[in-house]
Amino acid sequence: MADVEFRVENHIVHVRLNRPGGMNAITGDMDEALLDAWNSINADPEIWCAILSAEGEKAFCIGADVSEGPERKSRMALAGGLTGIGGPLVTLTKPLVAAVQGFCVGGGFELAMCADIIVAADTAQFGLPETRHGIIGECGVVHRAVRQLPHHIAMAMILTGERIDAATAAQHGLVNEVVPYAALADAAASWAGRINKAAPLANQAAKAAVYGRLGHPLEMALMTRFEEIERYAESEDCRERDVAAAEGRRPVWTGR
């Protein structure tokens, strides 16, 4: 089977890392497959939400496969560009749910933090082991960690290399839900289903607006006009919203 699986069902795409024997460490070939996946998701109007998961109970992902050596860096940024580590950043325009179990460390932690929603099994362990092993390079993970966790919690993880468990991650707002490992896939699917009850183009416009002005002053964000929002205003779904309201029924979204 492929090291990266790709399956679409009911407007939800399932992207699954399938290299459990290597703790789902990402090879150069997996990078290329993930880049193809993100590009396909962005281009397909029938895909409204993505779920990123991984095979095997032991690990979600431990980052890049370092056994490939330094030549691996010449391929692209980690995880098909989604993390932006070591190459150009690829932006996923659709909502992304990550289902995390076991070890989620280094670049794997970075990959999980690229998601909009994180569901964690109670087995999950999040960590930044780089400095403990004397490694610090194109380490984008520290920049996301200090933005997504309380400052002192993130700095403690960065400077000690110690991991936090799923319950602690939830306490600090890093994950949305913690479930038993056996319930992880169902929980991720539930989140994707809840997301897809909303207008898909409105969700995509909202995501673009959030990330497009993240880190900017509030005044600048409020004054910005977003192309995605303006395009949604001209969409079939926007017209369906108004018709459904007038007819007293729930809208039927098409993503167009």
Residues 73-89: pLDDT tens digits?
556 789 999 998 878 88
Q: In what order do the strands lie in the sheet with 125-127?
A: 59-61, 103-105, 125-127, 164-165
**For residue 45, pLDDT beyond 70:** yes
Active site residue 236: no
pLDDT band at 250 (very low <50, low <70, confident <90, very high): very high
Average pLDDT score over residue span 22-41? 96
Q: What is the pTM of this model?
A: 0.94
pLDDT band at 70 (very low <50, low <70, confident <90, very high): low
Which residues, other chains included, contact 25 with Cβ-Cβ below 8 Å and sequence gap of 6+? 19, 61, 62, 63, 64, 65, 66, 67, 108
pLDDT band at 181 (very low <50, low <70, confident <90, very high): very high
Which of 68, 110, 177, 228 is flagged as catalytic?
Answer: 110
Active site residue 71: no
Which of 9, 55, 130, 177 is flagged as catalytic?
Answer: 130
pLDDT recorded at residue 92: 97
